[in-house]
Amino acid sequence: MSKLKPPGYFIAVYEHGSISAASEVLFIAQPLLSKALHQLERALKL
């Protein structure tokens, strides 16, 4: 599993254009990536 933190996950989604594409590149499950991004949104109060 990747050692990136949620801000790094956000950047990967931006760079690859979708959560699905980023999850493949990061070698993590798409639901796990979605959950991490949701937690980042809550932390940033978005």
* Residues 1-46: tens digit of each pLDDT: 456 688 889 999 999 999 999 999 999 999 999 999 998 888 888 7
Structure tokens at 24: 């493949």
Residue showing tokens 């949701």: 38
In a domain, 26, yes or no: yes
Report the C-alpha gap between 27 and 41 in whole angstroms: 22
Query: CATH number for the domain including 37?
Result: 1.10.10.10
Tell whether pTM > 0.85: no
In a domain, 30, yes or no: yes
Give the total number of structural domains in the chain.
1
Q: What is the 3-state secondary structure (H, E, C) of 21-37?
A: HHHHHHCCCHHHHHHHH
